Amino acid sequence: MDFFNLLSALQSLTTVQRIAVTAIPMILAITVHEAAHGYAARHFGDMTAHHLGRISLNPIRHIDLVGTVIVPSITMLVGGIFFGWAKPVPVNFMKLRHPKRDMLWVAAAGPGANLAMAILWAIAMQFARFLPEYAAVPFALMGVAGILTNTILMVLNLLPLPPLDGGRIAVSLLPNNLAIKYAQIERYGFIILILLLVTHILDKIMWPFVMFTLQSISAVFF
């Protein structure tokens, strides 16, 4: 089972087929990502998401019509890097036991969960060989979609741009005076991200890191 041959097969599917294969992995990736933030925040002392019922693996609690359904579908139609989001799990960083330090771990929990999910999909794909061909091929393609989607979400969220997780991590690591100034970028963060997306600069920034991760997973599991 060659991972990159399967990846090419996934990309050669029609748009409808690709959406069908990618839908479940994408919803799981976004759900687990947001739930991980909530679990981490609760672990470090912030009960906001817990009290609002947002610490859940129920996808319905995290799905955003625009970010989880419409935008990802459009990016698949027009090509380019996958892009989407869920309803953010509310975190009050000031309620963390050590706000500046713990912010790093809460932010890192989401991308960390995506990396774990990518690895779990790679492990699950090993069982495709025991399935009949009519089931093995769709399952393997879904596994590839799971690895790709989680890898892209991990890399995207690690970009050091507030309010992305990488931006939160950068704010946590910077000295206080620089952290305050850097955090102010957040009000423009989404606009900057959209500009990077539509100009395809985002693809050029992310793709080397995405490919490195995919090659690493392929080397270990395939």
Active site residue 133: no
- For residues 210 and 135, what is the distance between their CA atoms, to the nearest angstrom? 28
Q: What is the pLDDT of residues 97-133, one digit of tens each?
A: 999 999 999 999 999 999 999 999 999 999 988 999 8
Phi, psi of 111 (to 5 degrees): -60, -35
Alpha-carbon torsion angle 162, 163, 164, 168, nearest 10: 70
Instruction: Name the catalytic one among 30, 34, 68, 217.
Output: 34
User: What DSSP character marks residue 62?
Assistant: T
Question: How large is the average pLDDT for residues 177-187?
Answer: 94
pLDDT value, residue 148: 95
134-170 confidence digits (pLDDT tens): 899 999 999 999 999 999 999 999 999 998 999 999 9
Nearest to 153 by CA among 165, 143, 141, 138: 165
Mean pLDDT of all residues in 83-96: 85
Mean pLDDT confidence for 73-89: 72
